[in-house]
Amino acid sequence: MRSPDLIITFLGTGTSTGIPMIACTCAVCTSTDKKNKRLRTSILVQSSSTTIVIDTTPDFRYQMLRINNTKLDAVLFTHPHKDHIAGLDDIRAYNFFENKAMDVYANSLTAEALKREFAYVFADKKYPGVPQINLYTIDETPFVIGDIPVKPFTVWHHKMPVYGFQFKDFTYITDANRIDEPVRNIIKDSKILVLNALRNEHHVSHFTLNEAISIVQELKIPEAYFTHISHQLGKHADVEKKLPKGIHLAYDGLTLNI
């Protein structure tokens, strides 16, 4: 069966603090350019019949309102850090309007964190109105949500395993600073790669801008978009014009057709 055409929407492209960062008066945080306003990192993946969100950030509610999204079939989680899971409670609205539980997919580490952070969701005796969730613990075995095939794989966020996801020849990676060789072989045939590029200076658990550029060029990916961006990287327009051909900074609201 032919894979469906997909639309990718960048719901947020900022790091854990977002941009502007609270109390910061730097040139990026005070910029009036909309491309310098970055909510926490997340994307929406849509076919004609299926809608998936990757990560429910602290901004999840506003992200859905901002794009006027009225349908959600599933949530995929990359890892258990707060800036990627904190908005899960707000799937309640979809429970109500779609009259069904939300399918949620996560690796075992993230599944345990969800049960801990949202204990009331998984309690034997639930308070009325709590989110209704079908939690599926996944490994790297490919699976299908609706009509969208999903291929998970593991990258490394310092010592934490983080799931990246591949949809057709589109690959999404956030919160990583190491990609092992077997995974590089998985993603090297991607036509589009989304990769985190936090800042210019070294970071213990994120790729720098130059490290992200090197990966794209080493793997010969024809088109790449960087996400999970800190205010320390600089203004969008200034960074964008210095990037090699085929490489771009993603921004909130950007859509791609794949």
pLDDT value for 37: 98
Instruction: Enter the tokens of residue 120.
Output: 């009331």
- Regarding pTM above 0.95, the answer is yes
Domain definitions of the chain by residue range: 7-257
Residue 141 neighbours by CB distance under 10 Å: 8
Q: List, for residues 153-187, the tens digit of each pLDDT value.
A: 999 999 999 999 999 999 999 999 999 999 999 99
Task: Return d(Cα 46, Cα 232) in angstroms, integer.
Answer: 32
Question: CATH number of the domain at 7-257, please?
Answer: 3.60.15.10
CA separation, residue 246 to residues 96, 108, 205 (Å): 42, 35, 25
* Residues facing 133 on adjacent strands: 102
Consecutive 10-residue runs of the chain (258 residues): their mean pLDDT? 84 98 98 98 98 98 98 98 98 97 98 98 92 98 98 97 97 98 96 98 97 98 98 98 98 97
